[in-house]
A = this chain, B = another copy of it.
Amino acid sequence: MLVETQTPRPVQTLPTYADVEAAAARIASYVHRTPVVTSASLDRAAGTSLFFKCENLQRVGAFKMRGAANAVWSLTDDEARRGVVTHSSGNHGAAVARAATQRGIPSWVVMPDNAPKAKRRAVEEMGATVVACEPTLAAREATAARLLAETGALLLHPYADPRVIAGQGTAARELLEEVPDVDLVVTPVGGGGLLAGTAIATAALAPHAEIWGAEPSGADDARRSLAAGRVVPVDSPRTVADGLRATIGELPLAILLAHGARIAAVDDAATLAAMRLFWERTKLVVEPSAAVPIAALLARAISADGRRVGVIVSGGNLDLPDALFALS
């Protein structure tokens, strides 16, 4: 649904697994069914059996395509022709831009001016108008509010929207169809949309599995919020995981509380080491945010010893260093 404020009040009826199934049908022709990969050497390093759902191989390079496609294609024609505004550090923006372009409607994406250049370029290539702002929640909201007033478009929130959450849940649905007997499912957690959708799908398809989110210790608002039972923002999140700086939304938090989700936090050094190991062993490019759950498993911040773990690998978009591709 379309929310006209940063966090919807009062919290709506929580989305259900039926919403995830409806989303899967709605977006089937707009998303890839991504592969699940394994790595014997990462299994040895983590002491577990890991099943990586490769959303870095998703369209626009991230799971965000799922939620954005579900939200954009859920609009009525009257709603759709107004166009959509969103704010995003990158992947959600590219996904909304792509979905809007496919539906033939305009889109505007508010991006912090410290977003990776590769992500900004992707949003523009997908057909959106990018509007830069300072990298604060206040600047994002003010810029989005101005755009909404100027354009008459609808706000499509990156994670506090039940249609976005239901769409994100389709990744776990596919993973659990392919690997039904997991003991844990782990995703990164920023605003909480992916983890909330994953919790809904996992509770339906693998009800005995634990649901874990992993976040940077410099942006551990999800851990604090689950402990407090209410949103506890981190004022100045500090992490290389540019996709995980957002504060968890009230709607995702309510879903995580309802499903007993747990949160692990790891520092950026562990995340970057895990990212390197993942690149080297799987030959798959993942962005720092996607490496956070892998780091949490390698560091035993999530105890999964000898168990079967489904991991949503959230995305693969980052600025590759020019030096890597330069003639020496």
A contacts, CB < 8 Å to B: 35, 56-57, 61, 118, 240, 268-269, 272-273, 275-276, 279-280, 282-286, 316, 320-321, 323-328
A276 to B316, CA, bound (A): 14
CB-based nearest B residue for A274: B325
Report the minimum CB–CB distance from A119 to chain B (whole Å). 12
B280 lies within 8 A of A118 (CB) = yes
Q: Are A276 and B56 in contact (CB under 8 A)?
A: no
A270 to chain B, nearest CB (A): 11
Contact B284 A320 (CB under 8 A): no
Known: A35-B35, A279-B320, A280-B118. A325 touches B272 (CB 8 A): yes
CB neighbours (8 Å) of A328 from chain B are 240
The residue from B57, B283, B325 contacting A275, defined by CB atoms under 8 A apart: B325
* Contact between chains at A273 and B325 (CB < 8 Å): yes
Chain B contacts for A240, CB-based, 8 A: 327-328
Q: Please determine whether B280 and A283 come into contact, CB atoms closer than 8 angstroms.
A: no
If A276-B320, A320-B276, A321-B321 touch, whether A283 touches B57 (CB-CB below 8 Å) is yes
Which A-B residue pairs are the 7 nearest by beta carbons? A283-B316, A283-B285, A276-B325, A272-B325, A56-B283, A321-B324, A57-B283
Chain B residues, Cβ within 8 Å of A321: 321, 323-324
A13 to chain B, nearest CB (A): 36
Q: Could you say which of B276, B284, B325, B327 contacts A283, with CB atoms under 8 Å apart?
A: B284
Cβ B283 vs Cβ A326 within 8 A: no
Please report the C-alpha to C-alpha distance between residue A273 and residue B325 in the assembled complex, in whole angstroms: 7
Given contacts A272-B327, A279-B285, 19 further A-B contacts (CB under 8 A): A57-B282, A57-B283, A240-B327, A240-B328, A268-B327, A269-B327, A272-B325, A273-B325, A275-B325, A276-B325, A279-B320, A280-B320, A283-B285, A283-B286, A283-B316, A284-B285, A320-B324, A321-B323, A324-B324
| Chain B contacts for A280, CB-based, 8 A | 118, 320
A57 / chain B contacts, CB cutoff of 8 Å: 282-283
Chain B residues positioned under 8 Å from A35 (CB to CB): 35
